[in-house]
A and B are shown apart, each in its own frame.
Chain A
Amino acid sequence: MIEDLARRGRGDPRAPARLGDPASLSNGQRWGDDDPEGGKSNPWSGNGRGGRRGRPGQPSLEELIRLGRGRFGGRLPGGGARPIWGYALAAFVLLWLLTTSFHQIDPQERGVITRFGRYQGTLGPGVGLTMPAPVDVVTRVNVDQIASFDVPGSGGQNLVLTGDQNIIDLAYSVRWSVRDPELYLFELAQPEDTIREVAESAMREEVSRVTLDEAIGPMRSQIESRVAARMQALLDRYRAGVTIEGVAIKQADPPEAVNDAFKEVSAAQQQAQSFLNNARAYSEQVEASASAAAAAFDKVYDAYRLAPEVTRKRMYYETMEAVLARNDKVIVDTPGSPTVLPLPGLKPRGRAVDGEPPTITVAPAPVTRGGGQ
């Protein structure tokens, strides 16, 4: 078979098909038809067969060259072929060198060069020159960009146990950036998954150190910073080459199932507050009226001290005036006279017993006592 191919390739007249003949090339079917073995005698497939037989590539390669020579040599004038090919090749090589040797690294990027897989150096921002592509490969790593992810990833609850065995629904985000591009590229198999897992582990550990109330309220910022520090320590231990820029707790709430009970607590707080407010209003009012009464008394008393007797009398008469002027009066001369008075217009009021009208006697006591002083 190899011999057969070789004969064909050399343009031997005994060959079943003349491969050099453009006519035979234009009709691919004829190769197969003419082959006495019935298999594919296509020179391209011959390449594969030759390789399988232990001498990789040799005969078919030769053939390939001849084929090409026959093909193009036959069509183009002998001298003109080379320069065009040369220029094309030169242009191709130049383009290849230009595109794979020059690297423009943006200010926020670093280009990690590997030469045949081995770390060769890191390109800073600007234009860097390396060996062409298959030799040197430049991997760009963005070191300024701050990446972030959320936990839980897509909605839903993220229940975390707190130190007092309660459960809290927590949502947070972690921001991180690449600090050391080489470590980032070479040290961890799945850097992003690792950061995620470390975040979750650190968060749960920190939350398990505080109580539910602390986690919901006052300790939030402390938890954030502690988680960030813990993550940084763990990732440094893994040599991840990553900086944790920050951890932000977006939500730390009681789980939905117990939310009503928590609302009850805040309602109770409001209620307690309103009790206190009412009591404060009462006390202010009471104290204000006491102060007012005291102040009024003080004023009157100041006046009274200037002229005790006269003031006392004046007040007595003024009061009597006001009282008597506004009420019905009956003056009974004889002390022993009956007090059951069928007086017209007298309406029994209040707790009158047995039809007896209330009898009020103006007590002269204060004045007599005061007068005696």
Chain B
Amino acid sequence: MTRLLRNPIGWAGLLIVVVLACASTLSIIPETSQALVVRMGKPDRVVNRYRPGQGFGGDGAGLLAHIPLVEQVVVIDKRVRDIDMERQPVLSTDQLRLEVDAFARYRITDPLRMYLAARGDERRVGEALKPILGSALRNELGRRPFAALLTPERDTAMRNIRDALNRIAAQYGAQIVDVRINRAELPDGTPLDSAFERMRSARRQQAMTIRAEGMKQAAILRGQADADASRIYADAFGKDPDFYDFYRSMQSYRAAFAPDGENIGGTTLVLSPNSAYFRNFINKGK
């Protein structure tokens, strides 16, 4: 033996022996896990169990000593895990169909119970809870009208689903942290198409309203302008209506008989020498 230890290979061998011995008696429990020690098939103790609000670096995680072959260590996740529910059709009370997809988050709080119910396999817990989440969701949402699913009442619905699910989850040593509706959509096909059609017709109506409103505003503007103009005229011309009559008639004659830039003639005027224009012309000549 002394000869053996003098040889580096001997040291290496000893090291391997020590490592093997450690490997069979010590297990590493990471912060993210809790462990259940099962002695000869009988659950014995829980290490690094989840406690609410617990910090990291406590006594639980790290090396765990156990008796080789006699004690088995079942490592169970301590983190928040999620269950993604398959898309579910939900019929609301007003007979509208919705495709709902939700997720739940849970964590194992009682490893012993979880070991007994699901033999220490987290996936089994998830699989057991998944259909229950689906039915809880359908039950809860089916009691509401469609519109309620789109309103903040959703919060209450989700709380109810969470509570319902929690009762089942407790049997698996799990606790539901949260349930959320991820998507609530109209199913493809007729419901979606009719929703689109409704949106389209609403838009068309809106377009017509906008156009009509535009026309109305335009007419009002024009009328207002005409009114303003006539007020301006009245203000100006009202100062002397008699003179305005004369002034305007003069303008009118010019416009009617001698428009600017037009060629001469077109109208033959038959005048009487007695007319006012010829007053001086004729009388003076007499």
Contacts and interface: CB of A to CB of B under 8 A. Distances in A.
Interface string A116-155: 1111110000000000000000000000000000000000
A111 interface: no
Interface string B182-201: 11111000001101100111
A322 B199 contact: no
A272 B211 contact: yes
B31 A118 contact: yes
A208 B150 contact: yes
Nearest to B249: A366
A267 B224 CA distance: 26
Given A297-B247, A357-B268, A361-B272, A322 B254 contact: yes
A330 B221 contact: no
A258 interface: yes
A335 B273 CA distance: 9
A283 B244 contact: no
Contacts of A294: 232-233, 235-237
Contacts of A117: 28-31, 33, 61-63
Given A114-B31, A187-B80, A331-B273, A366 B257 contact: no
A261 interface: yes
A159 B154 contact: no
User: Most B CB atoms within 10 A — which of A119, A209, A315, A341?
Assistant: A119
Contacts of B254: 319, 322-323
A197 B79 CA distance: 17
A279 B215 CA distance: 9
Interface string B159-171: 0000000000000
Main secondary structure, interface of B, reads helix
B251 to A, nearest CB: 8
Contact of A370 (B82, B150, B199, B246): B246
Interface in A267-312: 267-269, 271-276, 278-280, 282-284, 286-287, 289-291, 293-295, 297-298, 300-301, 304, 308, 312
Interface residues of B, number: 111
Contacts of B199: 166-167, 212, 254, 258, 261
B210 interface: yes
Interface string B88-112: 0000000000000001010000000
A186 B31 contact: yes
A84 B207 CA distance: 92
Contacts of A212: 199
Given A234-B178, A272-B214, A65 B185 contact: no
Contact of A329 (B210, B239, B243, B269): B269
B116 interface: no
Interface residues of A, number: 122
Contact of A315 (B8, B246, B278): B246
B225 A287 contact: yes
A271 B235 CA distance: 36
A322 B258 contact: yes
Contact of A238 (B9, B62, B177, B266): B177
A362 B246 contact: no
A360 B152 CA distance: 85
Nearest to A62: B13
Given A197-B82, A335-B274, A276 B217 contact: yes
Given A265-B203, A339-B270, A327 B265 contact: yes
A188 B80 contact: yes
A335 to B, nearest CB: 6
Interface string B205-238: 0111011011101111110111011101101110
A287 B207 contact: no
Contacts of B147: 165
Contacts of B262: 326
B246 A312 contact: yes
Interface stretch (A19-27, A30-38, A199-207): A199-207
B271 A328 contact: no
Nearest to B274: A335
Given A89-B8, A287-B232, A57 B20 contact: yes
A295 B186 CA distance: 68
A107 interface: no
Contacts of B272: 331-333, 335, 361
A186 B82 contact: no
Given A359-B270, A361-B271, A297 B214 contact: no
B17 interface: yes
28 contacts: A65-B4, A69-B7, A82-B7, A117-B29, A118-B29, A118-B58, A119-B57, A166-B195, A167-B186, A186-B56, A189-B79, A194-B80, A194-B105, A238-B105, A239-B80, A258-B199, A258-B200, A261-B200, A268-B207, A279-B219, A287-B228, A291-B232, A293-B233, A300-B247, A304-B243, A315-B250, A362-B271, A368-B276
**7 closest pairs, A vs B, by CB?**
A272-B214, A283-B225, A364-B276, A118-B62, A294-B236, A290-B229, A117-B30
Interface of A: 56-57, 61, 64-65, 68-69, 82, 85-86, 89, 114-121, 159, 161-163, 165-167, 182, 185-190, 193-194, 197-198, 200-201, 204-205, 208-209, 212, 234, 237-239, 254-255, 257-258, 260-262, 264-265, 267-269, 271-276, 278-280, 282-284, 286-287, 289-291, 293-295, 297-298, 300-301, 304, 308, 312, 315-316, 318-320, 322-333, 335, 339, 341, 343, 346, 349, 357-362, 364, 366-368, 370, 373
Given A117-B62, A333-B272, 7 more contacts: A118-B31, A276-B217, A293-B233, A294-B235, A298-B236, A323-B269, A333-B273
